[in-house]
Structure 1
Amino acid sequence: MDLDGGGSKRVFQRLGGPVDTKNQKVCYHWRAGNCNRHPCPFLHRELPPPSSNGAPSKRPHGFADDSSGFSGPRPRPNYHGSTWGRVHGGASSRTVRKPERVSKVCKYWVQGNCGYGDECRFLHSWSLGESFSMLTQLEGHQKVVSGIALPSGSDKLYTGSKDETVRVWDCQSGQCMGVINLGGEVGCMINEGPWVFVGIPNFVKAWNTQTSAEMSLSGPVGQVYAMVVGNDLLFAGTQDGTILAWKFNAATNCFEPAASLKGHNLGVVSLVWNLETLQCIQTLKEHTSVVMSVLCWDQFLLSCSLDKTIKVWVATESGNLEVTYTHNEEHVCSNNSSVSQDDHGISRWECHVLETGLLTLCGMHDSEAKPILLCSSNDNSVHLYDLPSFSERGKIFAKQEVRAIQIGPSGLFFTGDGSGQVKVWQWLAEQAATTR
Structure 2
Amino acid sequence: MDLDSGSKRVFQRLGGPVDPKNQKVCYHWRAGNCNRRPCPFLHRELPPPPSNGAPSKRTHGFVDDSSGFSGPRSRTNYTGSTWGRSHGSANSRTVRKPERVFNVCKYWVQGNCGYGERCRYLHSWSLGEGFAILTQLEGHQKVVSGIALPSGSNKLYSGSKDETVRVWDCQSGQCMGVINLGGEVGCMISEGPWVFVGMPNSVMAWNTETNTELSLSGPIGEVYAMVVGNGLLFAGTQDGSILAWKFNAATNCFEPAASLKGHTLGVVSLVVGANRLYSGSVDCTIRVWNLETLQCIQTLKEHTEVVMSVLCWEQCLLSCSLDKTIKVWVATERGNLEVTYTHNEEHGLLTLCGMHDSEAKPILLCSSKDNSVHLYDLPSFSERGKIFAKQEVRAIQMGPAGLFFTGDGAGQVKVWQWLTEPAAIAH
TM-score range, shorter chain: 0.7 to 0.9
Post-superposition shift, 1:380? 0.0
State whether residues 107 and 113 of structure 2, in contact with CA within 8 Å, keep that contact through their aligned partners in structure 1.
yes
- Does 2:292 align with 1:276? yes
Aligned to 1:358: 349
Separation (CA, whole Å) in 2 of partners of 1:268 and 1:96: 35
Residues 144-155 of structure 1 aligned to structure 2 (within 5 Å):
144-155=143-154
State whether residues 14 and 172 of structure 2, in contact with CA within 8 Å, keep that contact through their aligned partners in structure 1.
no
- Does 2:58 align with 1:67? no
Aligned to 1:206: 205
Separation (CA, whole Å) in 1 of partners of 2:229 and 2:16: 35
Find the residue that maps to 1:400 and give its secondary structure.
coil
Post-superposition shift, 1:67? 3.2
Separation (CA, whole Å) in 1 of partners of 2:268 and 2:341: 22
Extract unaligned runs of 5+ from structure 2: 1-11, 19-55, 88-95, 271-277, 279-288
Aligned to 1:186: 185
Aligned to 1:286: 302
Letter in 1 for 2:302: E
Separation (CA, whole Å) in 2 of partners of 1:197 and 1:312: 29
Aligned to 2:397: 406
- Of structures 1 and 2, the larger Rg is shown by 1
- Does 2:381 align with 1:387? no
Letter in 1 for 2:305: S
Deviation track 1:172-227 (CA, whole Å, cap 9, x = no partner) reads: 11110000011100000011111100000000000011111110000000000010
Letter in 1 for 2:374: H
Separation (CA, whole Å) in 2 of partners of 1:69 and 1:224: 39
Find the residue that maps to 1:109 and give its secondary structure.
helix
Post-superposition shift, 1:328? 0.8
Post-superposition shift, 1:130? 2.1
Find the residue that maps to 1:118 and give its secondary structure.
helix
State whether residues 198 and 222 of structure 2, in contact with CA within 8 Å, keep that contact through their aligned partners in structure 1.
yes
Letter in 2 for 1:138: L
Separation (CA, whole Å) in 1 of partners of 2:355 and 2:323: 24
Aligned to 2:337: 321
Structure with larger RCO (C-alpha < 8 A, sep 6+): 2
Residues 290-369 of structure 1 aligned to structure 2 (within 5 Å):
290-329=306-345, 331=346, 356-369=347-360
More strand by share: 2
Aligned to 1:434: 424
Post-superposition shift, 1:163? 0.1
The 1:221–1:323 alpha-carbon spacing in structure 2 relative to 1, beyond 3 Å, is same
Separation (CA, whole Å) in 2 of partners of 1:233 and 1:169: 28
Separation (CA, whole Å) in 2 of partners of 1:411 and 1:250: 34
State whether residues 14 and 173 of structure 2, in contact with CA within 8 Å, keep that contact through their aligned partners in structure 1.
no
Separation (CA, whole Å) in 1 of partners of 2:123 and 2:269: 35
Letter in 2 for 1:294: V
Find the residue that maps to 2:133 and give its secondary structure.
strand
State whether residues 399 and 419 of structure 1, in contact with CA within 8 Å, keep that contact through their aligned partners in structure 2.
yes
Post-superposition shift, 1:315? 1.1
Find the residue that maps to 1:406 and give its secondary structure.
strand
Post-superposition shift, 1:74? 3.9
Letter in 1 for 2:337: L
The 1:111–1:152 alpha-carbon spacing in structure 2 relative to 1, beyond 3 Å, is same
Aligned to 2:366: 375
Letter in 2 for 1:396: I
Identity among equivalent pairs (%)? 81
Post-superposition shift, 1:107? 1.5
Separation (CA, whole Å) in 2 of partners of 1:172 and 1:435: 33
The 1:211–1:148 alpha-carbon spacing in structure 2 relative to 1, beyond 3 Å, is same
Separation (CA, whole Å) in 1 of partners of 2:17 and 2:174: 9
Find the residue that maps to 2:259 and give its secondary structure.
strand
The 1:69–1:244 alpha-carbon spacing in structure 2 relative to 1, beyond 3 Å, is farther
The 1:199–1:282 alpha-carbon spacing in structure 2 relative to 1, beyond 3 Å, is same
Q: CA RMSD in A?
A: 2.4
Post-superposition shift, 1:69? 11
The 1:148–1:210 alpha-carbon spacing in structure 2 relative to 1, beyond 3 Å, is same
State whether residues 69 and 171 of structure 1, in contact with CA within 8 Å, keep that contact through their aligned partners in structure 2.
no
Post-superposition shift, 1:258? 0.1
